[in-house]
Structure 1
Amino acid sequence: MRLKMKSGGRVPGRRRSRAVRVVVAVALAVISTACQGPSGGGTPVPDPTTTITGSSPSPTSASSPPGSPAPTAAAGKIGHVFVINLENQSYNKTWGPDSAAPYLSQTLRSQGVLLTQYYGVAHHSNPNYLAQISGQASNPMTRNDCTTYAPFIQTGTADPGQVLGSGCVYPASVPTLAGQLSDAGKTWKGYMEDMGTPCRHPSPGAKDNSQNAKINDQYATRHNPFVYFTSITSSPGCRDNVVDYSNLAKDLQSAATTPDLAYVSPNLCHDGHDSPCVDGQPGGLESADLWLKEQVPAILNSPAYRQDGVLVITFDEADGNATGPSGLPGGTAGGLVGALVLSPFTSPGTSSGTMYNHYSLLATMEDIFSLPRLGYAAAPGLPSFGPDVFSAHP
């Protein structure tokens, strides 16, 4: 390329040489910029001012479903969290070599971080779900899956942030992750398969008739933690935020319409609880895996996930009466279940042996959204997901 210069007067030899060098340098810089394209087209740099407990600032990208471009994590930090809970499977059955869930244990496993020491906190189902959004420990009625939708009778308080007593429907004074998000100006939704009517739950004091699946209605109240907190059910927003799963597809169409927290509970067949299912499906891990294969790609290909999302797939409790080792705040009484974390902020095909439980998931979500930790999530020594899980600043 020939550069033409036009001078308005004579420049002495040394000054002319210096002027030529300056102009040439500027021109070359312009050419270099044009060849590289517009700024911002390279690997995004995570925001160094945004941290999560123990996280590390080295950027990475997770694997994508076949035929889709790689997620970019363009926002530099996690902004959308998706949680899917499945039911009653031990770690070895789910993640072992003979797993009846090859899509989860192999296909998705190759795209995320497997937490090999992730535990439920109680038996049966209900207290594990409650732990994930409130940090409250189990009590006799929640451990019995709240067959009666009974108000919680409080007898006292204890550290860390626990209300003592027994019952199912906690008073409005008990805080939740949902309330924290709303107070912080963020959005959340619970997507409950087969729920139909928004914010559906029994009348106070009534028997819970959703304990057993029915044809065309396999919704389980006990797998919907949001309706066990008066602060949520007494709010007009409950009908807008606790909705049937069928609403998720529309909400995923853009990042703006996807809530900051999307919490998904499949029905009693698709979560692996029933085997066989009331509608004739095989149930167990086989039906759960088929449901994941049909539904998860819509999340992984959504604008919100690809921009700044994380998807956590886990189980409420292990089967039987399995428990875990001591030493983790909040306990491991629900047994070893494992959890898979997929995100543009994770390294695909990796694993972590750090001990976590459902309170750790709550702590992680609160850290992501810069919220105070609730209940056992705030217990000293309770770990949230760190650099063993997130390889870039979330």
Structure 2
Amino acid sequence: MFRLTGYFSLRRGLLTCPYRFLAVLLMTLGTSVTCLAATSSAPPPIRHVFVIMLENESYPIAFGPQSIAPYLARELPKQGALLPNYYGVGHYSLDNYIAMISGQAPNPATQADCPTFSEFTPTEKKPDANGQWPGTGCVYPKQVNTLANQLTDAGFTWKAYMEDMGKDPAREAATCAHPVIGTPDITEHAAPQDQYAAKHDPFVYFHKIIDDKKYCNTRVVNLDHLAGDLARLDSTANFVYITPNLCHDGHDAPCKNGEPGGLISADAFLRSWVPRIVDSAAFKRDGLLIITFDEGNDGKACCNEKPLPGGPQPGGKIGPGGGQIGAVLLSPYIAPGTQSDKDYNHYGLLRSLEDIFGLSHLGYARDNELNTFGNDVFTAHPASSR
């Protein structure tokens, strides 16, 4: 047998066969030819993912020529990949966070940011074919899985870092902080000394996480823990989720503590934390940093986004989606100055992360038509350090 191969893909060590016309010619001559499948969609061997979630800016404002966030808009894209056509999936904030880690679509309560921390009440006994649980409410039952639980079950580690969480012990706990079920969420609005918001901490909206107090308390912590955890490879989780406070994520402007807020404070937060992340041993070895927003200021959607069965339009009265927000990705596997014009959204991000860690797909991340991060994003092929 004659094995025809083209170029070697460093991503998975597989050979591809781009010269199919030659293969056909050889086959007509009676020669057996084996062409291994191309691996353009296979992710590189990333084992440390960092996500920084910012708030409420549309792509033209955050990344356009008049952006007041020069580090985000100009410096970081030069270091990695810019995704202009990345979209939120709903309005307001919380439904985007929920979608990103579970694939569940917006319901009436999460669209309203859950001012009361209520139980989710399903209207069906089981999810539909797309993994969606019809119903409304905030805290999902144990049957609803999350990326965090998937990672644990697969032997990976995760940790969520929430800025300001627990700074005012009378307001919320220092770990796994959330309101008592059935009570108003007093963290919806910032306090001068404590600007943590539960609605920007998606992990506390799932019984599968919060019902195991030790599990949640050791994984959903204050941002102050991150610097120490980054100091060593073995103390850096495989999946790191970072939520700045209501000022530093750009949500408030001006802020309760006197800072300007908006993109100015968000940019300052990134200038402080991004260098620490990219200088860490975990990032240098096999890391990926993703910086994006929850939602924009319009109702645009992409990627054939679907609503919750029997539920509201994801973007509410504004439109079918959460708006064009953009994203920046940094990694040793991304060549500086990369730009991909493919359409992405939070479901596509979830699917991409599940592919990176070899996990099954949750909720609307099951949609095979979603774009996932591939050769358009991962444009560098460094020699493995393992």
TM-score (norm 2): 0.82
**1:322 is matched with which residue?**
299
Map 1:223-262; keep pairs closer than 5 Å.
223-235=200-212, 236-262=214-240
C-alpha distance in 1 between matches for 2:145 and 2:379: 31
**1:19 is matched with which residue?**
none
One-letter amino acid of the counterpart of residue 366, structure 1: E
One-letter amino acid of the counterpart of residue 194, structure 2: D
2:351 corresponds to 1:363: yes
**1:307 is matched with which residue?**
285
- Aligned-partner SS, 2:101: helix
CA RMSD for the aligned pairs? Answer: 2.1
2:64 corresponds to 1:96: yes
Q: CA deviation at 1:132?
A: 0.8
Q: CA deviation at 1:231?
A: 0.5
Q: CA deviation at 1:305?
A: 0.3
**1:212 is matched with which residue?**
189
Q: 1:114 to 1:52 in 2, by over 3 A?
A: farther
One-letter amino acid of the counterpart of residue 235, structure 2: T
Q: CA deviation at 1:255?
A: 1.4
Q: Deviations over 1:122-143 (max 9, x none)?
A: 0000010011110000000000
2:263 corresponds to 1:285: yes
C-alpha distance in 1 between matches for 2:272 and 2:261: 15
Match of 2:247 among 250, 257, 269: 269
- Aligned-partner SS, 2:258: coil
Match of 1:80 among 48, 56, 73: 48
2:147 corresponds to 1:177: yes
C-alpha distance in 1 between matches for 2:353 and 2:302: 24
**1:4 is matched with which residue?**
none
TM-score (norm 1): 0.81
Q: CA deviation at 1:56?
A: 6.6
Preserved CA contact (<8 Å) 2:81 2:336:
yes
Preserved CA contact (<8 Å) 2:302 2:345:
no
Q: CA deviation at 1:46?
A: 4.3
Q: 1:113 to 1:52 in 2, by over 3 A?
A: farther
Preserved CA contact (<8 Å) 2:303 2:344:
no
One-letter amino acid of the counterpart of residue 368, structure 1: I
**1:145 is matched with which residue?**
113
- Aligned-partner SS, 1:304: helix
Preserved CA contact (<8 Å) 2:162 2:201:
yes
Q: Deviations over 1:161-187 (max 9, x none)?
A: 000100000001100001100001110
Q: CA deviation at 1:390?
A: 1.1
Instruction: Name structure 1 gaps, 5 residues minimum.
Output: 1-43, 58-75
Match of 1:377 among 348, 355, 365: 365
Q: 1:271 to 1:45 in 2, by over 3 A?
A: same
Q: 1:355 to 1:46 in 2, by over 3 A?
A: closer
- Aligned-partner SS, 2:304: coil
Preserved CA contact (<8 Å) 1:251 1:258:
yes
Q: CA deviation at 1:45?
A: 5.0
C-alpha distance in 1 between matches for 2:85 and 2:359: 25
**1:112 is matched with which residue?**
80
C-alpha distance in 1 between matches for 2:38 and 2:150: 17
**2:134 is matched with which residue?**
164
Q: 1:342 to 1:360 in 2, by over 3 A?
A: same
Q: CA deviation at 1:54?
A: 3.8
- Aligned-partner SS, 1:189: strand
Preserved CA contact (<8 Å) 2:102 2:146:
yes
Larger Rg: 1
C-alpha distance in 1 between matches for 2:39 and 2:369: 12
Q: 1:154 to 1:56 in 2, by over 3 A?
A: closer
Q: 1:53 to 1:161 in 2, by over 3 A?
A: farther
C-alpha distance in 2 between matches for 1:109 and 1:358: 19
Q: 1:215 to 1:117 in 2, by over 3 A?
A: same
- Aligned-partner SS, 2:123: strand
2:95 corresponds to 1:127: yes
Q: 1:256 to 1:226 in 2, by over 3 A?
A: same
Q: 1:46 to 1:230 in 2, by over 3 A?
A: same
- Aligned-partner SS, 2:160: strand
Q: 1:339 to 1:53 in 2, by over 3 A?
A: farther
Q: 1:328 to 1:392 in 2, by over 3 A?
A: farther
Q: CA deviation at 1:322?
A: 3.1
C-alpha distance in 2 between matches for 1:301 and 1:118: 26
**1:73 is matched with which residue?**
none
Preserved CA contact (<8 Å) 2:163 2:224:
yes
Q: Deviations over 1:305-348 (max 9, x none)?
A: 000000000000002x4323573467761000001111001111
Q: Deviations over 1:149-170 (max 9, x none)?
A: 0000011232310001000000
C-alpha distance in 2 between matches for 1:298 and 1:169: 33
One-letter amino acid of the counterpart of residue 356, structure 1: Y
One-letter amino acid of the counterpart of residue 348, structure 1: P
- Aligned-partner SS, 1:128: helix
Preserved CA contact (<8 Å) 1:152 1:165:
yes
- Aligned-partner SS, 2:282: helix
Report how many residues are paired: 332
Instruction: Name structure 2 gaps, 5 residues minimum.
Output: 1-8, 16-36, 167-173, 308-313, 315-319
Q: 1:366 to 1:49 in 2, by over 3 A?
A: farther
Q: Deviations over 1:171-229 (max 9, x none)?
A: 01100001100001110001000112100000011100001100110000000000000
**2:332 is matched with which residue?**
344
C-alpha distance in 1 between matches for 2:10 and 2:302: 39
C-alpha distance in 2 between matches for 1:300 and 1:52: 30
